[in-house]
Amino acid sequence: MKPTKHNWRTKLHEIIYEADTPTGKAFDVILLIAILASIVLVMLESVKSFDAKYHKFLDIAEWIITILFSIEYITRIISVNKPFKYIFSFYGMIDLLSTIPKYVSLLLPGTHSLVALRALRLLRVFRILKLARYLGASNQLATAIRASRAKIAVFLFAVLIAAVIFGTIMYLVEGEENGFTNIPKSVYWAIVTLTTVGFGDIAPATSFGQFIAAIIMIMGYGIIAVPTGIVSAEYTKATGKDKGKLSDEEIDQLQSVHLNTQCCVNCLTEQHQDGAEFCYKCGCKLHHET
């Protein structure tokens, strides 16, 4: 059943939000290049010696990128039925944050460095590349990480409590004269130590402090095993499953797995099944070429 009405907005939506048509794919590739270029630009600009030499060139390039991103932002808004849903979505906020500082810097010169917030747009790379898809078996990896996430979160919460307790003890033991100037800083030190990062910007100076530090480090060394063990076991489970012994429902799941990149014009819901005619969330008609 062919959709009957093909106005410009539907077209735009197809190009910008989906990747099933050639133009949609081309848009994604160009966007990816633009994002990477904008990051490189921001980096070069931050290097003072480079900026001094090529300031003019960088400024012009910066403006071109900003205007392109602005156009993209506006087009994204006008091509969806519920623009506010996009504007207040996570990616909508980031898209805004990566264009606005350049304009604001015209009025308030000091704020120019905020263009660096554009680095957050790199997160869109995950969306465009759909990185996980590029590797056949990565659904298993995703499954393993998803299965481990909650347990690792609880685990890291426990690590955090340990850091607060150890940090407070070190504050009492070492005191201000050895760099442990206040409890938040001591907790920061405890995290640096427990995670085996060990900057050394603060280090225990008293014998007793070093003794406690040794305990913290050996603990950190022992407990790093826990999250690793979790992911490892979950991943073993996830990869073990699809070795021939799939249950009926799992086969069903796998068969229905191919979800296309279409995106509902009305509610921005993604991942519709390949033959879907209507959005599974809001029931709105999906527009696609046949």
- Site residues (CB under 8 A) for a copy of itself, limited to 223-262: 224-237, 239-240, 243-245, 247, 253-254, 256-257
How far is Cα of residue 254 from the mean position of the Cα atoms in its chain?
26
Q: How far is the CB of 10 from a copy of itself (least distance, A)?
A: 31
Give the span between the Cα atoms of 43 and 50, in whole angstroms.
10
210 and 204 Cβ atoms separated by less than 8 Å: yes
Tell me how many degrees the CA angle 55-28-261 measures, rounded to the nearest 5.
155
Q: How far is the CB of 165 from a copy of itself (least distance, A)?
A: 5
Counting residues that bind a copy of itself (by CB under 8 A) gives 97
Q: How far is the CB of 153 from a copy of itself (least distance, A)?
A: 8
Buried b (16+ CB within 10 A) or exposed e, 170-185: bbebbeeeeebeeeeb
Q: How far is the CB of 238 from a copy of itself (least distance, A)?
A: 8
Q: How far is the CB of 196 from a copy of itself (least distance, A)?
A: 5
Nearer CB in complex with a copy of itself: 14/62: 62
Q: Of residues 173-232, which lie at the interface with a copy of itself (CB under 8 A)?
A: 181-185, 187-188, 191-201, 203, 207, 210-211, 213-214, 217-218, 220-222, 224-232
List, as one string, the DSSP characters of 174-203: H-GGGT--SHHHHHHHHHHHHTT----SS-
Binding mask 5-44 for a copy of itself (x = CB under 8 A): ----------------------------------x--xx-
Give the span between the Cα atoms of 116 and 118, in whole angstroms.
5
Q: Of residues 137-176, which lie at the interface with a copy of itself (CB under 8 A)?
A: 137-138, 141, 144-145, 148, 150-152, 154-161, 164-165, 167-169, 171-172
Q: Of residues 107-136, which lie at the interface with a copy of itself (CB under 8 A)?
A: 113-114, 116-117, 119-120, 122-123, 125-126, 131-132, 134-135
Q: How far is the CB of 218 from a copy of itself (least distance, A)?
A: 6
Nearer CB in complex with a copy of itself: 83/198: 198
Give the span between the Cα atoms of 250 and 140, in whole angstroms.
13
Task: Give the position of tokens 């554009």.
Answer: 118
Token output for 190: 């405890």
In total, the chain counts a number of residues equal to: 290
